[in-house]
Chain A
Amino acid sequence: DTGVSQNPRHKITKRGQNVTFRCDPISEHNRLYWYRQTLGQGPEFLTYFQNEAQLEKSRLLSDRFSAERPKGSFSTLEIQRTEQGDSAMYLCASSFLDGQGAAGYTFGSGTRLTVV
């Protein structure tokens, strides 16, 4: 078990460019979540997948954001036409949905995005 892996760890991009982040969850976990954390705040929910199905998207996720989880394995989060307000830490987490529901997420180390 290598934990949840996120790449890249840091990304600096110019405003208007597209960026893509990758998350590799723990292999036996069937749920995958994306959160965004800005400075001095707690993480905010963006979207989640159960296997390959994207089941909910937050209103925080504008049309410029898209997430995929092909084949129910790794996930990608793409931001098109980045804006300075997109600068944040993007966190991925995975969990296994068992009889008790939320057993507790395992978070990755995050991808810190800076839009200049």
Chain B
Amino acid sequence: AQSVTQLDSQVPVFEEAPVELRCNYSSSVSVYLFWYVQYPNQGLQLLLKYLSGSTLVKGINGFEAEFNKSQTSFHLRKPSVHISDTAEYFCAVTPTSGTYKYIFGTGTRLKVLA
């Protein structure tokens, strides 16, 4: 079985400051990893994904994440946030074979302050 832990339920940050949203996972098998963003009353939008290869992956809207297998982490970063980045961010994993159903974390609410 897999599990995902997002330790920070809320992260306030000032506009143009850097931000890191943390994600740790547990799995006995190889997994793919994802970050999704959810704006109020919307579905989830894929930010980036790690399937294989380079451990640093770049996504949309200037976000990037680094896969660290030894620490079982996949933290999301952005060097300079905008007010429009205010949203809920979800980390998810799925085994590399089988149903590809996702296990989501509980989410981190990023609030960008002016």
Closest 7 CB pairs of A and B: A42-B104, A107-B43, A102-B100, A107-B44, A45-B101, A109-B43, A104-B46
Question: Any chain A CB within 8 A of the CB of B94?
Answer: yes
A33 to B105, CA, bound (A): 18
- Asked, given contacts A42-B90, A42-B106, A101-B32, whether A110 binds B101 with beta carbons under 8 Å apart, the answer is no
Interface size classification for chain B: 20 to 34
- CB proximity of B7 to chain A, nearest CB, Å: 14
A48 to B52, CA, bound (A): 24
- Asked, given contacts A41-B106, A42-B105, whether A97 binds B100 with beta carbons under 8 Å apart, the answer is yes
A contact residues around B96 at 8 Å (CB): 101
Partner of A48, one of B4, B44, B101, B105: B101
B contact residues around A93 at 8 Å (CB): 43-44
Question: Any chain B CB within 8 A of the CB of A105?
Answer: yes
Q: Which of A77-93 contact B (CB under 8 A)?
A: 91, 93
